C-alpha cells in the first residue's frame, strides 16, 4: 500500500505530460465534433488560454514524475483536473473515465500530502 501514492503520482504525471505535449505536437486525434469541438476551439481562439493550460499540464506532469513540489503541483492542477472531468461529464462522455480518474487521483494525492496544506488551511 505504501507504493500506491507513488504509482498514482507517476500515472497522473504521465497523463498530464502526454496530453500537455499533445496540445503542441498533435500526436493524438481526439476526433471531437459539435459542442465539444466548439468549446475546445473557443479556448484555442482565445489566443492564450489553451497554451496556458497545456504548458501548465506539461510542467505539472514533469513535477509529479520527478517528485518535486508535489503539493504545489496538485494545487495548481486541481482546477484543470476538475474542468477535464466536467468537460467529459457534460460534453464528451467518451473520456469520462479519465476525467473521473484525474479528480480521484488529485484528491487522493492531496489527502496523502495533507500535512503540506496545514498552513493554507488555518483560520
pLDDT digits (tens, 9 = 90+) for 66-94: 999 999 999 999 999 999 999 999 999 99
Q: What pTM value is reported for the model?
A: 0.93
Q: What is the pLDDT of residues 24-75, one digit of tens each?
A: 999 999 889 999 999 999 999 999 999 999 999 999 999 999 999 999 999 9
Q: How far is CA 9 from CA 64, 68, 119, 123, in A?
A: 6, 11, 23, 29
Closest CA to 75 of 36, 116, 37, 18: 116
Running DSSP on this structure, what letter comes out for residue 93? Answer: G
Amino acid at each position: 500500500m505504501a507504493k500506491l501514492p507513488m504509482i498514482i503520482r507517476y500515472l497522473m504525471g504521465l497523463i498530464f505530460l502526454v496530453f500537455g505535449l499533445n496540445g503542441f505536437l498533435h500526436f493524438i486525434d481526439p476526433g471531437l465534433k459539435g459542442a465539444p469541438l466548439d468549446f475546445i476551439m473557443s479556448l484555442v481562439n482565445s489566443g492564450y488560454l489553451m497554451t496556458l493550460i497545456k504548458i501548465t499540464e506539461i510542467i505539472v506532469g514533469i513535477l509529479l514524475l520527478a517528485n518535486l513540489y508535489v503539493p504545489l503541483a496538485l494545487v495548481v492542477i486541481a482546477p484543470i483536473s476538475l474542468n477535464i472531468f466536467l468537460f467529459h461529464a457534460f460534453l464528451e462522455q467518451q473520456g469520462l473515465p479519465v476525467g473521473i480518474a484525474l479528480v480521484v487521483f488529485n484528491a487522493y494525492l492531496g489527502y496523502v500530502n495533507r500535512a503540506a496544506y496545514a498552513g493554507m488551511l488555518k483560520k
